Chain A
């Protein structure tokens, strides 16, 4: 069965500092990988996705993520964090079975200090 682990429940960074959010997955084949962001009281917004090709993918809002098969990781990065980036971030892996479902991690809450 596929699974996603986000080891950091909560991360705090200062505005302007770099950011890396960790995601490790377990999957039997080549995965599709996603990062979503959720602001309080809102739905999830897709930041970026990986399904094949270049292992470094660019997303919206200046985010990027790197797929490392050897480490089963798909970490999210941003070189300079803005206060508006404060939110919860979810990593997801799929598809699963004939239903082609996604499995979500438990999320990382990002706090940005002024």
Chain B
């Protein structure tokens, strides 16, 4: 069964350092999402791609976060510099035929 891949699964970094997360969606899925999930809450959308284009990044803190999907397949989310408040689970998802979203296992980020 096709799955969304993410790496790394866990990342510990010190504040002010740069971190990057990678996502490979289900093959053929044109729409890709990055979410941030704080413990005890639902996912909150950071950025949405349609192929290589950004559809919505209104909730992305652009002073420190960036996202790209250069060839319209895999995607990278970067934080520079990381802050203590960025500690969270970062989830990637891709969209299926009926608007269902398929999620990867996530990257748990801890900023010290």
Q: State the main secondary structure of chain B at its contact with A.
A: strand
User: Of all chain B residues, which has the CB nearest A107?
Assistant: B42
Size range of the interface on A?
A: 20 to 34
Which of A64-72, A79-87, A94-102 touches B? A94-102
Residue A45 is within 8 A (CB to CB) of chain B in the complex: yes
Contacts of A44 in B (CB 8 A): 43, 91, 93, 101, 103
Pairwise interchain contact B98-A106, C-beta atoms closer than 8 A:
no
Provide the bound-state CA to CA distance between A43 and B48, in Å.
Answer: 18
User: Taking A44-B91, A107-B40, A107-B42 as contacts, is the C-beta distance between A49 and B100 under 8 angstroms?
Assistant: yes
User: Of all chain A residues, which has the CB nearest B107?
Assistant: A43
A-B contact count (CB 8 A): 56
User: Taking A49-B98, A94-B99, A101-B56 as contacts, is the C-beta distance between A106 and B48 under 8 angstroms?
Assistant: no
Provide the bound-state CA to CA distance between A107 and B40, in Å.
Answer: 8
Pairwise interchain contact B102-A95, C-beta atoms closer than 8 A:
no
User: Taking A90-B42, A99-B48, A105-B42 as contacts, is the C-beta distance between A43 and B103 under 8 angstroms?
Assistant: yes
Q: Please give the distance in Å from A94's CB to the nearest CB on chain B.
A: 5
Q: How many residues of B contact A (CB 8 A)?
A: 26
User: Of all chain B residues, which has the CB nearest A102?
Assistant: B101
Contacts of B98 in A (CB 8 A): 32, 49, 51
Pairwise interchain contact A106-B42, C-beta atoms closer than 8 A:
yes
Provide the bound-state CA to CA distance between A94 and B44, in Å.
Answer: 14
User: Of all chain B residues, which has the CB nearest A36?
Assistant: B103
Which residues of chain B (44-58) have a CB below 8 Å from chain A? 45, 48, 55-56
Assuming A46-B102, A107-B42, what are 20 further A-B pairs, CB within 8 angstroms?
Answer: A34-B100, A36-B103, A41-B106, A43-B103, A43-B104, A44-B43, A44-B101, A46-B101, A49-B98, A90-B42, A90-B43, A92-B101, A94-B99, A100-B31, A100-B95, A101-B33, A104-B43, A106-B41, A106-B42, A107-B40
Which B residues are within 8 Å of any A CB, using their own CB? 4, 6, 31, 33, 40-43, 45, 48, 55-56, 89, 91, 93, 95, 98-106, 108
Which A residues are within 8 Å of any B CB, using their own CB? 32, 34, 36, 41-46, 49, 51, 90, 92, 94-95, 99-102, 104-107
